[in-house]
Structure 1
Amino acid sequence: MKKKIPYTLITVISCTFALVVNAQVAFQNNGNVQIHDQGQMGFHIDLINQGVFNQNLGLAGFYNQNNPLIVSGNAVVFNDLEIDVTNNLFLRTAVGVSNGANFITGLVVTDRNQLGVSLDFINDAFYSGVVNTSHTDGYSSVSGTDAFTFPIGDDSRFRPMSVSSSSSQQFFSGAYFFEDPNSPSTFGTNFNTNTKQGRIGSVNPTEFWDLNGKTETSVTLTWDANSNISFLVDDIENLLVVGWNENDAEWQDLGNTEVTGDITSGSITSFTFSPSDYAIITIGAANTTAENLNYGISPDGDGINDVLVIEATRNRTQNHLEIYNRWGVKVYEADGYTNDWNGTSDGRITISRDKGLPVGTYFYILEFKDTGEKVTGYIYINR
């Protein structure tokens, strides 16, 4: 893409090119503007779209080395978009990109209280040039089937978040927050980092991400020197992606399928989960103080290993057992476990309780209430 377009090639019907709004000169569209194929249009003043401005080809650029620029009014869709605004481009309405965006200078800032106002990448559109000083400060969205990394951050911190590809059309929106989830600035509730599953040892109080979407996906989160990962773990293999489940009002384990980097920078990928189940997500640490014991059962009715037997529970009935599948969904829970679980589910997502859980590996947490001692490990179901 080209840089700093000095001329325009457009079709214009009923537009005001130099509208003065509160002493600020602006380009206002009251009718229908279209940038043709190979057309180029540079905005050095604010854009107020009161008409139709979504059938564009060619390239639109926002350029100003002295003042911030604002896009407001009706939603706008550009084919190619370029941002070179030293004091930032502020979106008061959604701006879509159908081909590619080039970040040169400045942030694209959206109001974090308005989820519908974002920088939108349509049908797997791409971008380039994102760095700490040039990215989306607020919400960005994507539609398409490809894997996508959100060009998001908070002020001068670029902190990408990635979602996986899908065989069908999907839509996600997301933002990064460099703030304590215990007291977020733009949510109507707090996310207590001490309210968590036993599998989770700690939750990062430094930062979090908001990911919205109805399609199941894995997510990759990143950290840097400001993330304070060293306060969570000594070994990054013990990191987890964790999410605040709105129904259960607790932080839940979303897994760790891959982790790269070191204490000062790296990335971690979760299991597959549904973002609609979680208000926010962040990085946490596994509970490494619990004793680890693994088991296997084969509930086929032959009388051998048909049920999960944990010897320690025979004389210690003041216990609480939780079992989770690989996606962090609770499939079984019992107070006072009596060695009778045969691989069936009583979790909230269960459709048919008379059918056993599929072959695979499950994670359990057993807590003895009298001492607070915890035992964790894996259970392999073989049928």
Structure 2
Amino acid sequence: MDRIFFIVVCLLAQVTIAQQAFHNYGNIQIHDQGEVGFHTDLINDGTFDQNLGLAGFYNPTGSLNVSGDNRPIFHNMEIDVVDDLLLDVAVGVTNFQEFLNGRVQTPRDRRNVSLDYINDAPYLGENDDRYVDGYSSITGVLDFTFPIGDDFRLRPMRIENQAAVNTARGAYFFENPNSPNFFSTSFNTDNFSNVLFGVSSFEFWDLDGDVETRVTLTWDDNSNIPTLVDELEDLRVVGWDRNLQQWVSLGNFAASGDLNNGEITSELMIPDNYVVLTFGSSDIILDGDLEIFTAVSPNGDGVNDTFIIQGIEQFSNNELIIYNRWGVEVYRKKGYDNSWGGYSEGRATIAQDEQLPVGTYYYILKIEGQKDRSGYLYINV
């Protein structure tokens, strides 16, 4: 694509235009309505951050590279590079960016080298062949979705507006967190808090920021979500806790889609408290002031040996009733105190004090002055 060049070069600027690269040593500015097309590599060792107009990167047969000591910042930017635009220095855009062809690749072992969206600059044209393969950042006051991916898969991550104020940065990794390629440590997916039942070993995200936010992760059919959960209500965002050195649940504020494609939003969290993020599973239902652990495994290992309703001690005037799949009452207790370990105590049971078989059961929790709570729990020894 032909482009008209409008470049104002200050008297002190020294610019070398060679066959291999456009090398700026001085002070260059693209003025309003100006359009500059880069068909060779750009090396910026001078000042190139007070631009208006359009900067485009074009190569129909290969790749282009942006490098140098200083970050160039463009007003509008479009990328049409069939074998990718490779960044060795961060590049900023302040008004609008469009993906036309190819990806933007940044070095994953250098987080400060990223495609930076400044002042809430929007973008257009992203898909499985056009995205940021590495790190991008946002500085602004609006919600933002990072156009990130890996292995020719766009896998966006979204944050809320407050998290963009101090600049947030993110990347997606389609690799096993047990053996990451760009981190100095591994993230053992068998090491998780006792409210979790599993952690994905297929992918993870890195989100950097010091402002509290909810984060939304996306999945596709390569995420293998059915290996974690049967129902989306059991899916969780999980994070590798920087201090505990284990995976912890960050909740399920909202989820949509199906097991092959969808998205999930965490509860409020501070990104810098967690090294990486991914998907996990948990049979906990958040219901107001209560956390209901819907899995019981009475095997004596100290984990979920009884039916736990965290917070029930606040409501001593309660009654719990549990039925089997045929509607037969197997347990009833007033003032439930997290003590039921899967034994039959119902009046209609043939053999009381017997361990109930593995399977799905139905509970009703009555609390005086509140609407009854009900749902399913699963016994698995």
The answer to whether the 8 Å contact 1:5/1:61 transfers is no
User: 1:169 offset after TM fit, Å?
Assistant: 2.4
CA distance in 2, matches of 1:242, 1:311: 26
1:51 corresponds to which residue? 46
CA distance in 2, matches of 1:63, 1:241: 39
* Correspondences of 1:227-376 after superposition (within 5 Å): 227-287=223-283, 289-290=295-296, 292-294=307-309, 295-298=311-314, 310=337, 312=339
Change in Cα spacing, 1:128 to 1:248, as seen in structure 2 (3 Å) is same
RMSD: 2.2
1:280 match: secondary structure: strand
The answer to whether the 8 Å contact 2:57/2:78 transfers is yes
1:179 match: secondary structure: coil
1:19 corresponds to which residue? 18
CA distance in 2, matches of 1:168, 1:138: 18
Q: Which amino acid aligns with 2:67?
A: S
TM-score normalised by L of structure 2? 0.76
Q: Residue 10 in 1 paired to residue 16 in 2?
A: no
1:61 corresponds to which residue? 56
1:166 match: secondary structure: helix
Question: Looking at CA atoms only, which structure, 1 or 2, has the larger radius of gyration?
Answer: 2
Q: Which amino acid aligns with 1:103?
A: F
2:202 corresponds to which residue? 206
Choose which of 37, 40, 48 in structure 1 pairs with 2:35: 40
State which drifts further: 226-235 or 215-224: 226-235
Change in Cα spacing, 1:175 to 1:61, as seen in structure 2 (3 Å) is same
Q: Residue 30 in 1 paired to residue 25 in 2?
A: yes
Q: Residue 106 in 1 paired to residue 92 in 2?
A: no
CA distance in 2, matches of 1:139, 1:310: 48
Change in Cα spacing, 1:311 to 1:254, as seen in structure 2 (3 Å) is closer
The answer to whether the 8 Å contact 1:244/1:250 transfers is yes
CA distance in 2, matches of 1:311, 1:128: 52
Q: Which amino acid aligns with 2:312?
A: G
The answer to whether the 8 Å contact 2:214/2:265 transfers is yes
User: 1:137 offset after TM fit, Å?
Assistant: 0.1
Q: Residue 93 in 1 paired to residue 93 in 2?
A: no
User: 1:298 offset after TM fit, Å?
Assistant: 4.4
CA distance in 2, matches of 1:93, 1:201: 41
Change in Cα spacing, 1:311 to 1:77, as seen in structure 2 (3 Å) is closer
Gaps of 5+ in 2: 284-293, 297-305, 319-334, 341-379
Q: Residue 128 in 1 paired to residue 106 in 2?
A: no
Runs of 4 or more consecutive aligned structure 1 residues displaced over 6 Å after TM superposition: none
User: 1:118 offset after TM fit, Å?
Assistant: 0.1
Paired residues, number: 304
CA distance in 2, matches of 1:57, 1:172: 24
Q: Which amino acid aligns with 1:227?
A: S
TM-score normalised by L of structure 1? 0.75
CA distance in 2, matches of 1:192, 1:209: 15
CA distance in 2, matches of 1:164, 1:52: 32
Q: Which amino acid aligns with 1:100?
A: F
CA distance in 1, matches of 2:172, 2:80: 22
1:131 match: secondary structure: coil
CA distance in 2, matches of 1:137, 1:112: 8
User: 1:278 offset after TM fit, Å?
Assistant: 0.2
State which drifts further: 200-209 or 286-295: 286-295
User: 1:164 offset after TM fit, Å?
Assistant: 0.8
The answer to whether the 8 Å contact 1:121/1:142 transfers is yes
2:189 corresponds to which residue? 193
CA distance in 2, matches of 1:186, 1:63: 29
Q: Which amino acid aligns with 1:312?
A: S
Structure having the larger proportion of residues in strand: 1
1:230 match: secondary structure: helix
Change in Cα spacing, 1:260 to 1:168, as seen in structure 2 (3 Å) is closer
1:237 match: secondary structure: helix
Change in Cα spacing, 1:43 to 1:297, as seen in structure 2 (3 Å) is same
User: 1:113 offset after TM fit, Å?
Assistant: 0.5
CA distance in 1, matches of 2:276, 2:312: 34
Q: Which amino acid aligns with 2:131?
A: H
2:339 match: secondary structure: helix
Gaps of 5+ in 1: 314-371, 374-383
The answer to whether the 8 Å contact 1:171/1:215 transfers is no
